[in-house]
């Protein structure tokens, strides 16, 4: 389940380089979030992200990745992940998920958030909030001495069976490439996976569906949608595990506030 490929453990110096990429991603996502309103096109949101990334001297990692044509993925409503930005306009009540990655000096950051456009339906707002909480529960489970499988177990426990957990797309190691071993599952499996060691850097990214989590890919070969048409949310952070705990590289505060709410101390190498 977790594979046998070699994990690239990072030195503290390398983690500091990844923090730079993580902060660029954080800024790009904040800029996009500020522009999400009825009438804006997903292509316009993409341009906002690309401008922030390039202005920082960074490179958008999604652009050209296996031919992907944009700097963000913009996935709306029944779209789960990998939506291609274009002429679609955001509508009131839409669930909009934005995923973004950037490279600084060869090191990657990768993060995503969902938001509901006003007037937001209560069910959609809760879907996004629970997905975010499940992500933080997964991040909090990254503790030296634990097992990688603790992340998926924590995500599943946080969902409490309220939503479908997408299984076909998972989190991943990250560093000198956007996607590296190991896979980071969003659900519990029998095999507990490799022991958690300092220097592990992973993207934790649960995708939840307000209904059946079965997915299919559209004819554009990218956009992942729920087969049932049910709405989905997606949250993601890039996290480095240090001796004293997790440091959330794509959160401006390193995850201090959200982890404290779970009784876990974030452990920044610097800030
Ligand atoms: Mg991502
Ligand atoms: Mg990712």
Domain spans in the chain, listed from the N-terminal domain onward? 15-260
User: Are the beta carbons of 36 and 249 closer than 8 angstroms?
Assistant: no
Ligand nearest to C-alpha 99 = 1
Ligand nearest to C-alpha 235 = 1
Ligand nearest to C-alpha 72 = 1
Residue 28 pLDDT greater than 70, yes or no? yes
Mean pLDDT of 32-37: 98
Neighbours of 75 (CB within 10 A): 28
**Ligand 2 centroid from CA 100, angstroms:** 8
pLDDT tens-digit profile of 73-129?
Answer: 999 999 999 999 999 999 999 999 999 999 999 999 999 999 999 999 999 999 999
Q: Which residues pair with 201 in a beta bridge?
A: 240
Task: State the virtual CA torsion across 121, 84, 255, 116 in degrees, nearest 10.
Answer: -10
192: left (phi over 0), alpha (psi -120 to 50) or beta: alpha
Residues near ion ligand 1 (Cβ under 5 Å): 99, 110, 112, 236
State the CATH architecture for 15-260. Alpha-Beta Complex (3.90)
**Ligand 2 centroid from CA 203, angstroms:** 5
Backbone angles phi, psi at 196, to 5 degrees: -80, 120
**Ligand 1 centroid from CA 114, angstroms:** 12
**Ligand 2 centroid from CA 184, angstroms:** 10
**Ligand 1 centroid from CA 242, angstroms:** 22
**Ligand 1 centroid from CA 100, angstroms:** 6
Contacts of 37 (CB under 8 A, 6+ apart): 90, 117
How far is Cα of residue 80 from the mean position of the Cα atoms in its chain? 12
Mean pLDDT of 143-151: 97
Neighbours of 16 (CB within 10 A): 15
**What CA–CA distance (Å, rounded) separates 102 from 50?**
9
pLDDT level of residue 4 (50, 70, 90 thresholds): low
**Ligand 1 centroid from CA 123, angstroms:** 24
Neighbours of 58 (CB within 10 A): 23
**Ligand 2 centroid from CA 172, angstroms:** 6
Mean pLDDT of 238-267: 97
Mean pLDDT of 190-215: 97
What tokens does 253 get? Answer: 């505060």
Tell me what pLDDT residue 179 has.
97
**Ligand 2 centroid from CA 88, angstroms:** 23
**Ligand 1 centroid from CA 265, angstroms:** 24
Tell me what pLDDT residue 270 has.
72
Percent of the chain with pLDDT over 90: 97
Percent of the chain with pLDDT over 70: 98
**Ligand 1 centroid from CA 150, angstroms:** 21
Residue 3 pLDDT greater than 70, yes or no? no
**Ligand 1 centroid from CA 172, angstroms:** 10
**Ligand 1 centroid from CA 245, angstroms:** 22
Mean pLDDT of 203-211: 98
**Ligand 2 centroid from CA 120, angstroms:** 26
Tell me the longest C-alpha to C-alpha distance in the chain: 49
**Ligand 2 centroid from CA 257, angstroms:** 22
Mean pLDDT of 193-207: 97
pTM of the shown model: 0.97
**Ligand 1 centroid from CA 135, angstroms:** 13
**What CA–CA distance (Å, rounded) separates 246 from 154?**
15
Closest by CA to 23, choosing from 56, 55, 54, is: 56
């Amino acid at each position: 389940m977790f594979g046998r490929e070699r994990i690239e453990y990072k030195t503290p110096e390398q983690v500091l380089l990844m923090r730079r990429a993580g902060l660029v991603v954080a800024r790009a996502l904040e800029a996009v979030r500020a522009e999400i309103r009825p009438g804006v096109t997903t292509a316009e949101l993409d341009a906002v992200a690309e401008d922030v990334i390039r202005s920082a001297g960074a490179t958008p990692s999604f652009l050209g990745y296996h031919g992907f044509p944009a700097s963000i993925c913009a996935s709306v409503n029944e779209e789960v992940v990998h939506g291609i930005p274009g002429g679609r306009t955001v509508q009131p009540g839409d669930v909009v998920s934005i995923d973004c990655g950037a490279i600084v000096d060869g090191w990657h950051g990768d993060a995503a958030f969902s938001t509901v456009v006003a007037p937001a339906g209560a069910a959609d707002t809760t879907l996004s909030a629970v997905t975010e909480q499940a992500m933080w529960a997964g991040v909090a489970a990254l503790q030296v001495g634990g097992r990688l499988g603790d992340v998926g177990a924590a995500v599943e426990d946080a969902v409490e069976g309220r939503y479908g957990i997408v299984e076909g797309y998972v989190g991943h190691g990250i560093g000198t490439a956007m996607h590296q071993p190991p896979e980071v599952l969003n659900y519990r499996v029998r095999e507990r996976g490799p022991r958690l060691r300092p220097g592990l850097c992973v993207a934790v990214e649960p995708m939840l569906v307000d209904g059946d989590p079965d997915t299919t890919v559209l004819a554009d070969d990218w956009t992942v949608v729920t087969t049932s048409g049910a709405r989905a949310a997606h949250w993601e952070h890039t996290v480095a595990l240090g001796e004293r705990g997790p440091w959330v590289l794509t959160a401006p505060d390193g995850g201090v506030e959200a982890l404290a709410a779970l009784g876990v101390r974030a452990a920044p190498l610097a800030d």
